[in-house]
């Protein structure tokens, strides 16, 4: 065994750089939570409640280099400095428009079904069986366990379980407690008093043909016209194949844009939607306390210096985040001017590398900026990733975003003659007439991704 000594170069990210990268990736809502946590953990940070600091001081102090080390003279200056350091440098503090309201308690599917179970009129000895059944219903509303397993778990017979299950299948939402898709649809049809109808016959006897769009086979077996099958399919499509999915234990996701693009005097301006972020400064109270105690020990001084450096670096990182986001969004606005003016059909192709090269940043930085961030535009609210997609060339030598091509395909299908739907080849030819170089197989790929059926399944009789 030998001891070796060697010298080598290593590049490691400092904790401050890691924090800056983390802040860059955070959407505004998450950044607000992070800053509130920092306010609790760092005693040198406090939130400004009124617009008492000029913007010049705020920007100058927030962007000052914080990697410096403080000597004795600088230490005294910090303790005696009465100026506040703003953390946003954007505009005077704005009082919050909305107070945070408590969120209503979420009711889970099982809790919802149990409340109905205890009001169902079942006998006392049937309640445990019902609880066992409900405990085996998944988040989509389907019963996952077999009747035999439930009977064993509830110490009852299969017949008793089936009797209670029949009652549970009448609960809201309609279709809950089904063991497969056919039973789920049949329960919903019974709820609508459509038991002895063509709809029930299709569900009970020809579900596989229905799933594979074999309408002529269904028509022949039931001795009806194909147009009747098509009408029945349209009605069946209104039923819910997953009766409980997304209805319980979840809340709708509220999208609050991080950026706002507005047209002012013919020009598009990029604004930050960050008025909810706390505006930070170095605590005057803390500095005053330390200024009075000139005999603070080295450990206390070092603690305060660490917290001070952390606070100043945090505010500088926030300013850097805003500056980077602004550069990226301003380039997107410039490149997508036609989209902002005329809509999705004019969306141009764009890559992360293209933006990175244009603004002089690394592609990973652009990726962090665009990930999970939303922008409000005259055309709607979009995730920044929305603006980055592949490209299709046109005959003029330019290119267009694949999203715009998909929009054109959807428009052609929407406007087609239902009795003579457009094939993939016809759609490709129509796009070629508009000046886009696109093959039939590319149309088929985009159509599949958009969930549009092939022409033979879109035909109306």
Contacting residues for 75 by C-beta, under 8 A, at least 6 apart: 301, 305
Q: How far is the CA of 118 from the CAs of 123, 158, 174, 395, in angstroms?
A: 10, 21, 18, 69
Query: For residue range 175-217, what is the model confidence (pLDDT) as tens digits?
Result: 999 999 999 999 999 888 888 888 899 988 888 888 888 888 8
β-strands 280-282, 45-47: how paired? Answer: antiparallel
**Token couple for 229:** 């099958």
Contacting residues for 20 by C-beta, under 8 A, at least 6 apart: 313, 317, 320, 321
- Give every residue of the chain whose pLDDT is below 70, as ranges: 1-2, 4, 8-16, 19, 50-107, 246-253, 285-297, 390-400, 461
**Token couple for 208:** 């596989």
Is 280 within 8 Å of 315 (Cβ atoms)? Answer: yes
**Token couple for 60:** 């100058």
Crossing angle for the helix pair 424-433 and 440-449, nearest 10 degrees? 110
Reported pTM:
0.54
With residue 376 as reference, give the H or E element that holds it: strand 374-377
Is 161 within 8 Å of 140 (Cβ atoms)? Answer: no
| Alpha-carbon span 102 to 234, nearest angstrom | 41
Closest by CA position to 158, among listed 124, 110, 166: 166
The CATH superfamily of 389-458 is Homeodomain-like (1.10.10.60)
Closest by CA position to 347, among listed 359, 337, 358: 337
Q: Residue 375, SS3?
A: strand
Q: Residue 311, SS3?
A: helix
Is 138 within 8 Å of 206 (Cβ atoms)? Answer: no
For the chain, the maximum distance between any two Cα atoms, rounded to a whole number of angstroms, is 100
Q: Residue 326, SS3?
A: helix
| Alpha-carbon span 216 to 336, nearest angstrom | 47
Closest by CA position to 384, among listed 341, 321, 336, 422: 336
Q: Sketch the domain layout of the chain as residue ranges.
A: 15-47+54-95+257-359, 109-236, 389-458
| Alpha-carbon span 413 to 428, nearest angstrom | 12
Per this entry, what is the length of the chain? 461
Q: What pLDDT score does 397 carry?
A: 56
CA-based Rg of the chain, rounded to a whole angstrom? 32
């Amino acid at each position: 065994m030998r001891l070796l000594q060697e010298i080598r170069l290593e590049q490691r990210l400092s904790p401050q750089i890691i924090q800056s990268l983390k802040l860059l990736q955070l959407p505004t809502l998450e950044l607000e939570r992070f800053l509130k946590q920092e306010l609790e953990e760092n005693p040198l940070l406090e939130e400004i409640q009124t617009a008492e600091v000029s913007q010049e001081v705020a920007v100058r102090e927030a962007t000052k280099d914080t990697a410096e080390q403080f000597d004795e003279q600088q230490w005294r200056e910090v303790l005696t400095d009465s100026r506040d350091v703003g953390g946003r440098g954007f505009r005077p503090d704005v009082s919050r428009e909305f107070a945070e309201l408590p969120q209503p308690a979420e009711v889970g599917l099982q809790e919802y079904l149990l409340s109905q179970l205890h009001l169902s009129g079942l006998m006392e000895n049937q309640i445990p069986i019902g609880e066992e059944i409900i405990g085996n219903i998944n988040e989509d509303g389907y019963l996952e366990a077999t009747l035999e397993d439930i009977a064993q778990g509830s110490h009852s017979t299969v017949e008793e379980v089936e009797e209670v299950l029949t009652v549970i299948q009448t609960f809201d939402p309609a279709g809950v407690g089904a063991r497969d898709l056919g039973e789920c649809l049949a329960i919903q049809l019974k709820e609508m008093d459509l038991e002895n109808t063509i709809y029930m016959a299709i569900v009970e006897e020809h579900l596989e043909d229905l799933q594979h769009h074999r309408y002529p086979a269904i028509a022949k077996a039931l001795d009806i016209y194909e147009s009747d099958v098509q009408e029945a399919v349209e009605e069946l499509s209104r039923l819910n194949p997953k009766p409980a999915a997304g209805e319980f234990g979840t809340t709708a996701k509220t999208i609050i844009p991080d950026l706002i693009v507005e047209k002012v005097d013919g020009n598009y301006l990029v604004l930050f939607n960050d008025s909810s972020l706390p505006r930070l400064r170095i605590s005057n109270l803390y500095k005053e306390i330390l200024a009075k105690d000139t005999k603070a020990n080295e450990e206390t001084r070092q603690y305060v210096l660490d917290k001070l450096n952390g606070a100043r670096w945090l505010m500088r990182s926030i300013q850097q985040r805003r500056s980077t986001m602004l550069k990226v969004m301003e380039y997107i606005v410039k490149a997508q001017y036609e989209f902002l003016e005329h809509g999705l059909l004019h969306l141009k192709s764009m890559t992360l590398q293209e933006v990175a090269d244009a603004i002089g940043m690394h592609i990973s930085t652009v990726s962090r900026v665009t990930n999970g961030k939303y922008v409000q535009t005259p055309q709607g609210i979009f995730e920044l990733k929305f603006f980055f997609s592949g490209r299709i060339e046109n005959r003029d030598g330019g290119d267009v975003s694949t999203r715009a091509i998909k929009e054109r395909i959807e428009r052609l299908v929407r406007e087609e003659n239902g009795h003579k739907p457009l094939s993939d080849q016809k759609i490709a030819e129509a796009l070629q007439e508009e000046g886009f170089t696109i093959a039939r197989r590319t149309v088929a790929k985009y159509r599949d991704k958009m969930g549009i059926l092939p022409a033979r399944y879109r035909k109306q009789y």
